[in-house]
Structure 1
């Protein structure tokens, strides 16, 4: 792997709770106010613009029916390297929609939606893999609702099914190559926010980075407009350009790279650098 350009280091904070158990949220914060600068390498096989293969478009139509529609025979997006330049990331608090999570690869709980394979590569500032790091992800269902009775009520909108579920929450440890995958569905949107996925990286019992990742608006708009499950709610009211969190962070540096798979699922990937 090529060396990354090194930026300001950050001392780790927080504690890693035992894996393969439910993990409780550690406080509620109301905004994604940046409190530190961390690193993330540009990852994958394209030019870092956020998409591959024509803006994430492959042959055929997008798949429906959730993760059950996935063939799983997907290429390694990191096979051609992870890039040599690092970008400054801004870290954030967990936020009011964090809740207990579960150690698992498929985080959908059989919810419907466009199936997505999320691939993360965790590396150190020398771009060497960090095995055994845990990546914790959470996002909304296609209707724009988070799950969990322990999330803030505004995140579930008081919906009984959402409060009783743990959909689209999961945590896994990276393998010897520093990689971890999740199978999920494309998130929905809610008022005042563009479509996004939260994540936290912890290494050796400490929290190193909590932030959010995004998809290009062209991809968001295509999926929302072509799938009934998403289009029934209408166009989202916030774009990437006017989303306060993303606008303050630096737009394209926070985009997943994406590619449409032959089975109609979406492959999305990102390389994250931590000082571990």
Structure 2
């Protein structure tokens, strides 16, 4: 993506009211709402030497199921950024948008009641001096446990034409950071699809201008544990791509683009990451080291999600949706 300053129209956002109107519902259970180097050297990523707030969490020894309704201890989850940051933060670098971006919804819980391993995603957005950025919008999207994306305006390559996926808007959401640069989403752990490691897409915008579009991943051992043993995730066999073999977030960059995670007392996962954006669009951007395209995509039911997408391993997964001009989202 170009580092030139350009006005980026905001993503198409459905408010809760608009979403309900379009679905013909009168009420809803869905609430509204790097190369990234560590900002410091402490065990909590702060460089302050203060105790890690995660140390006080009692691990129940098993992951929860049932989606976000199983997050019964949500109000007691610790703030992973409470210890603060250092004074210098390295930029979060660009990675491909991918072909599965679609209209998003302003909300905190992005599951629409879907089942899966519940995850609280905690983000902190700062600039290169580690100064929190209030008023930035964070737009995230990822596939469900079955490897499918949602949205009738998403490519059939991403939904495989599945009518249930096309009629939903699950695992998509956008929110605005608070005065401390913080924002949380409640979701379920993503599934996998052929030629891609487990990942979450995101875009950060400030004043309607795009500052970074990239992707974060999870530790390979954690991915394998969940995919091989957890309900909904263990029905399709082993995944065919790991962080080490992915062609977007490579083995070289995966450690810096992986969420930190901790199992909470209710069995949900807390996953957190700091996103560092440029203090000005006139400053140079960067690309994820070792990353390439965005090969692979969800496969139709019946083939286990294995095998390359049409046109080869990289076919269809490279680059943005049709009509995307490098700045304006469809």
The alignment's TM-score, normalised by the length of structure 2, stands at 0.70
Q: Distance in 2 between matches of 1:272 and 1:143?
A: 28
Match of 1:199 among 184, 198, 202: 202
Match of 1:15 among 3, 9, 15: 9
Q: Distance in 2 between matches of 1:180 and 1:187?
A: 19
The alignment's TM-score, normalised by the length of structure 1, stands at 0.82
Higher relative contact order (CA 8 A, sep 6+): 1
More strand by share: 1
SS at match of 1:252: helix
Which residue is 1:90 aligned to?
A: 93
Q: Distance in 2 between matches of 1:99 and 1:18?
A: 8
Q: Is the 8 A contact 1:91 1:211 kept in 2?
A: yes
Q: Distance in 1 between matches of 2:206 and 2:253?
A: 25
Larger Cα-atom Rg: 2
Quick check: 1:69 aligned with 2:70?
yes
User: Displacement of 1:57 after TM fit?
Assistant: 9.9
Gap runs ≥5 in structure 2: 19-33, 46-52, 280-330
Q: Distance in 2 between matches of 1:201 and 1:194?
A: 22
Quick check: 1:131 aligned with 2:134?
yes
Aligned 1:1-276 pairs, distance under 5 A:
10-13=3-6, 14-17=8-11, 21=15, 40-42=36-38, 46=43, 58-71=59-72, 72=74, 73-84=76-87, 86-247=89-250, 250-276=253-279
User: Displacement of 1:82 after TM fit?
Assistant: 3.0
Gap runs ≥5 in structure 1: 1-8, 24-37
Cα 1:133–1:194, aligned 2, differ >3 Å: closer, same or farther? same
User: Displacement of 1:77 after TM fit?
Assistant: 0.2
Q: Distance in 1 between matches of 2:220 and 2:36?
A: 21
Q: Distance in 2 between matches of 1:144 and 1:194?
A: 11
User: Displacement of 1:248 after TM fit?
Assistant: 7.4
The number of residues matched between the two structures is: 250
SS at match of 2:212: strand
Deviations, residues 223-249 of structure 1 (Å, cap 9, x unaligned): 112212101111111111000111177
CA RMSD of aligned residues (A): 2.7
Q: Distance in 1 between matches of 2:110 and 2:211?
A: 22
Cα 1:241–1:130, aligned 2, differ >3 Å: closer, same or farther? same
Q: Is the 8 A contact 1:119 1:268 kept in 2?
A: yes
Q: Distance in 2 between matches of 1:198 and 1:69?
A: 24
